[in-house]
């Protein structure tokens, strides 16, 4: 039987709880992969500290301070939820009792902050979505291998593209959204030279992006980005790192023209497949 992990904030209490057979909440989940995960422990302690700081004298809850700190609390909870999804081996399910806390006003303002050291904050359809920045060594090598291969291939072919890794994409500016509802951070972005910048972020529609997903939750939200990419005329590659699947959403005149799916074993294979499509699209634009 799968264990149920509840996420619940309370004053001076660990936010991850598991109920025993008598329905009593235990702060020790009893799940080694959770208890021993450095980032789960780090962010759980941060969430506890942040939430407990909202209680002042006589244990009174400070609502004004809560509204001020809500974006940071939301981001911290997001990282916990996302990390639990990444390490879930199927032995537990997560029940988030703080779902409403994940929704904040003006998420773009938080996403554009410069202090996001251990997270990738995105805004998808007006919702703040935060992914853990720390990557496993294997994942870093994998993404880095694709990134380096693409740079070398593009330079050798003398194509007028620049390649970036984990750089913010100001979709709200490109699509002239009002209010601003979308800000993405693709794993890899390929954009034509001479692109528009805003605060060291890309503010021109990219030709291609590579999105890497490591959990069911991340794939769900990545697929929500497809309509915005479609409006920008951006070709989207989604690498399902868990299942070794590579999906292509090829756009033409703001419509998905073709959907392809491949299997792969090495990052070089992904780079070869992506670059082949880049060449095809480049040749089409030159005719």
- For 186, the 3-state DSSP assignment is coil
Return the sign of the alpha-carbon dihedral for residues 159, 165, 168, 171. Answer: positive
Go through the domains of the chain in sequence order and give each one's CATH number: 3-132 (no CATH), 137-286 (3.90.1570.10)
pLDDT for 164 equals 94
pLDDT for 214 equals 87
* pTM given for the model: 0.88
pLDDT for 286 equals 47
Alpha helices, DSSP H only, in the chain? Answer: 32-35, 38-52, 63-87, 107-111, 137-156, 171-174, 216-224, 226-232, 267-286
Q: Cβ of 122: how many Cβ atoms within 10 Å?
A: 24
Please state, in angstroms and rounded to a whole number, the distance separating the CA atoms of residues 2 and 141: 33
pLDDT for 50 equals 92
Q: Which residues contact 47 (CB under 8 A, 6 or more apart)?
A: 9, 15, 73, 76, 77, 80
Q: Measured between alpha carbons, how far is residue 42 from residues 10, 38, 71, 127 in Å? A: 17, 6, 18, 24
pLDDT for 25 equals 57
Tens-digit pLDDT profile for the chain (287 aa)?
788 888 988 887 888 877 655 665 566 777 888 888 899 999 999 999 999 999 988 889 999 999 999 999 999 999 999 999 999 988 888 999 988 887 888 999 999 987 777 899 999 999 999 999 866 666 777 788 888 888 988 898 888 999 999 999 999 999 999 889 999 999 999 999 999 998 889 999 999 999 999 899 999 999 999 999 999 999 898 988 777 788 888 776 554 555 667 777 676 777 787 888 777 766 655 44
* Nearest residue to 69 via CA among 39, 100, 110: 110
DSSP letters, 217-252, are HHHHHHHHTHHHHHHHT-EEEEEETTTTEEEEEEEE
């Amino acid at each position: 039987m799968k264990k149920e992990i509840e996420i619940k904030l309370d004053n001076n209490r660990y936010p991850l709880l598991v109920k025993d057979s008598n329905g009593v909440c235990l702060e020790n989940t009893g799940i080694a992969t959770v208890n021993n995960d450095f980032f789960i422990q780090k962010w759980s302690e941060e969430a506890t500290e942040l939430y407990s700081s909202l209680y002042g004298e006589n244990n009174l809850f400070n609502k004004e301070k809560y509204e001020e700190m809500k974006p940071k609390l939301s981001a911290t909870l997001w990282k916990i939820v996302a990390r639990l999804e990444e390490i879930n081996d199927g032995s537990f399910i997560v029940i988030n009792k703080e779902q409403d806390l994940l929704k904040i006003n003006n998420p773009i303002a938080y996403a554009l902050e410069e202090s996001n050291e251990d997270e990738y904050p995105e805004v998808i359809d007006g919702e703040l979505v935060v992914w853990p920045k720390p990557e496993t060594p294997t994942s870093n090598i994998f993404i880095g291998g694709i990134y380096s291969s693409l740079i070398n291939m593009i330079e050798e072919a003398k194509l007028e593209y620049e390649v970036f890794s984990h750089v913010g994409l100001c979709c709200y500016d490109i699509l002239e959204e009002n209010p601003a509802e979308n800000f993405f951070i693709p794993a890899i972005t390929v954009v034509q030279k001479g692109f528009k910048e805003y605060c060291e972020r890309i503010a021109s529609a990219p030709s291609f992006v590579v999105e890497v997903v490591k959990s069911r939750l991340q794939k769900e939200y990545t697929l929500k980005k497809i309509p915005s990419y479609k409006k920008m005329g951006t070709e989207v590659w989604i690498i399902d790192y868990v299942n070794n699947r590579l999906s292509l959403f090829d756009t033409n005149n703001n419509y998905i023209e073709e959907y392809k799916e491949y299997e792969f074993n090495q990052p070089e294979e992904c780079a070869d497949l992506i670059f082949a499509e880049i060449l095809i699209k480049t040749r089409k634009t030159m005719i």
